[in-house]
Amino acid sequence: MRSGTSRPNRTPFAAIVLAAGASTRMQGSPKALLPIDSEPAVQRILNVCEELEVAPVIVVAGRDSAPIRGALRGTAALVVENPSWSEGRTGSIQVGLGAVEDGVGALLWPIDHPFVQARTVEALVSRARSDAMALWVVPTFEGRGGHPIVLQPPTFAAISGLSRDTPLRNLLAEFGPQVLRVPVSDPGVTENVDTPETYRAALERYRREVPDPSWTGG
């Protein structure tokens, strides 16, 4: 049994959307701008976060920062640029964490997982708030770890100490029992949309399970 689960954590959470990659396997089309019904993927993620009052939403952009800024013009999203985006995803995480206020946790959401349901995100944030031991919350689907993840502020120093190309998962052993894995019934957490084929398959699955395109998943 995990200890300390009866003490709720009141930490607020910001969202960090990782959208700085080159989308090379997507034949150059920015993943952030892939259409999901009538809106780009990054807008859908913003909608889910706003629905759940996870704010601010910080979008870390790189090569495609100009079109991403254009797509988000007029929204509440904060777009920050990672000039070293090609050196590794952890560098983008570090840039995003640098825009988070002191004492605020982070919902870390890679753009290549745009179909995650709002109820899944709500469950992850809720577990992070209700379990005082949980510094790192990971969703799992059919035994596989996925995204987005929730990070509490005590993890930020260790993340800042990584090199830009060191995978974040290398820190999992360091946090040990403070890593909470939450089983969910949402295939979106493990759908890695990084090719046209995986995008089409994920979109078809999403449309079958979410008949109303205006519904974000809550």
Give the span between the Cα atoms of 43 and 194, in whole angstroms: 18
In single-letter form, the type of residue at position 110 comes to: P
pLDDT of 188 reads 97
- Where residue 116 falls among pLDDT bands split at 50, 70, 90? very high
Assess if residue 1 is contained within a domain. no
Give the span between the Cα atoms of 156 and 186, in whole angstroms: 27
For residue 160, CA distances in Å to 13, 23, 94, 134, 149 come to 18, 25, 6, 19, 17
Give the span between the Cα atoms of 32 and 14, in whole angstroms: 19
Assess if residue 215 is contained within a domain. no
Q: Helices 41-51 & 118-130, crossing angle to 10 degrees?
A: 50
pLDDT of 63 reads 92
| CATH code of 142's domain | 3.90.550.10
Assess if residue 146 is contained within a domain. yes
Q: Is the pLDDT of residue 180 over 80?
A: yes
- Where residue 5 falls among pLDDT bands split at 50, 70, 90? very low
Sign of CA dihedral 170, 31, 144, 5: positive
Length of the chain counted residue by residue: 218
Assess if residue 3 is contained within a domain. no
Give the span between the Cα atoms of 182 and 21, in whole angstroms: 27
Q: Which residue has the tokens 């990584």?
A: 162
Assess if residue 40 is contained within a domain. yes
Assess if residue 8 is contained within a domain. no
Assess if residue 2 is contained within a domain. no
pLDDT of 8 reads 55
pTM over 0.85: yes
- Across the range 161-170, mean pLDDT stands at 97
Residue pLDDT, tens place only, 193-215? 999 999 999 999 999 887 544 44
25, 32 contact by CB (below 8 A): no
Q: Is the pLDDT of residue 6 over 50?
A: no
Least confident of 5-14, 27-36, 145-154: 5-14
- Across the range 140-158, mean pLDDT stands at 97
Q: Is the pLDDT of residue 76 over 90?
A: yes
pLDDT of 107 reads 98
- Across the range 61-88, mean pLDDT stands at 96
Q: Is the pLDDT of residue 163 over 70?
A: yes
* Structural domain span for residue 125: 13-209
- Reduced to 3 states (helix: H, G, I; strand: E, B; else coil), residue 161 is coil
- Structural domains in the chain (count): 1
pLDDT of 22 reads 86
